[in-house]
Amino acid sequence: MPRYPEKIENLINSFCSLPGIGRKTAERFVYFLLKQPKVSLINFAKDLTELHDHHFFCPDCYNFSENEGPCAICSNSTRDRSTICVVEDIQDLLSIENTGIFHGLYHVLGGKLDPIENVFAEDLTVSKLKDRTQKETVAEIILAISPDIQGEATIIYLRKLFQDSNIKITLLARGLPMGSDIEYTDEVTLGNALRGRQELK
Ligand SMILES: [Zn+2]
């Protein structure tokens, strides 16, 4: 006999599929939601169902955007358009932006290469990055990618992709601990890693 009615069990399983959420936490979410007024739940459900119908992403860099056009960073004419900082996800972009020392543009890859988990270059925004470098004059690409195994594979791939171009490819200084997430690195350490970036030959 299942512990919960089927609909509740389904909801618990949906929460369990979120990153970092275990069964106990998922159950707590459901108990909490059961006590909420219907209107809050309708609004919550509406926000969820609309996630796929709206264009939240910048068509150039894949940062969040308020409308269908370029994001606030891409459309800011004071940003240095010759430097692109490549990050794994938007949280990493925000972490770097919070250091206040980077004034170029970004490119959000949407993940890292991971053949074991079936993540290949075509699953990331790699071809768009290549397009951007062909349309704009880009002098430097900073690979701000966490240095774990998948990160190393991604860095090697991108290095190869641009080896015949005149673009300087740089890496964050190795102040970041191995496998550490850029998102969780404090601003001072991240700022220093950015300032001390080195060319990848
Ligand atoms: Zn953008």
Per DSSP, the residues of 7-44 read HHHHHHHHHHTSTT--HHHHHHHHHHHHTS-HHHHHHH
Greater model confidence, 2 or 117: 117
Tell me what pLDDT residue 91 has: 93
Task: Tell me how far the alpha carbon of residue 106 lies from the centroid of ligand 1, in angstroms.
Answer: 7
What are the structure tokens assigned to 117, written together? Answer: 């988990």
Task: Tell me how far the alpha carbon of residue 75 lies from the centroid of ligand 1, in angstroms.
Answer: 7
Strands 80-87 and 104-108: parallel
What are the structure tokens assigned to 140, written together? Answer: 């430097």
Task: Tell me how far the alpha carbon of residue 64 lies from the centroid of ligand 1, in angstroms.
Answer: 7
Of 72, 198, 64, residue with least CA distance to 140: 198
Task: Tell me how far the alpha carbon of residue 24 lies from the centroid of ligand 1, in angstroms.
Answer: 38
Between CA 103 and CA 76, with CA 90 as vertex, the angle to 5 degrees is: 35
Which range of residues forms the domain containing residue 14?
6-50
The dihedral over CA atoms of 167, 173, 178, 181, expressed in degrees to the nearest 10, equals: -80
Tell me what pLDDT residue 184 has: 76
Tally of structural domains, the chain: 2
Domain containing residue 143: CATH number: 3.40.1360.10
Q: If pLDDT is split at 50, 70 and 90, which confidence band does 181 have?
A: confident
Task: Tell me how far the alpha carbon of residue 105 lies from the centroid of ligand 1, in angstroms.
Answer: 7
In a domain, 97, yes or no: yes
pLDDT tens digit sequence for 130-177: 999 999 999 999 999 988 899 999 999 999 999 999 999 999 886 565
Ion ligand 1, residue ranges at CB < 5 A? 58, 60-61, 63, 71, 74
In a domain, 67, yes or no: no
The amino acid sitting at 163 is Q
Note the pTM of the prediction, 2 decimals. Answer: 0.80
Measured from the Cβ of residue 195, the count of other Cβ atoms closer than 10 Å reads 13
The rounded percent of the chain whose pLDDT value lies above 70 is 96
Task: Tell me how far the alpha carbon of residue 114 lies from the centroid of ligand 1, in angstroms.
Answer: 25
Domain containing residue 40: CATH number: 1.10.8.420
Task: Tell me how far the alpha carbon of residue 189 lies from the centroid of ligand 1, in angstroms.
Answer: 25
In a domain, 70, yes or no: no
Q: In the β-sheet with 80-87, what is the strand arrangement from edge to edge?
A: 104-108, 80-87, 140-144, 168-171, 198-199
Average pLDDT over residues 87-104: 94
Task: Tell me how far the alpha carbon of residue 194 lies from the centroid of ligand 1, in angstroms.
Answer: 20
pLDDT tens digit sequence for 26-43: 999 999 999 999 999 999
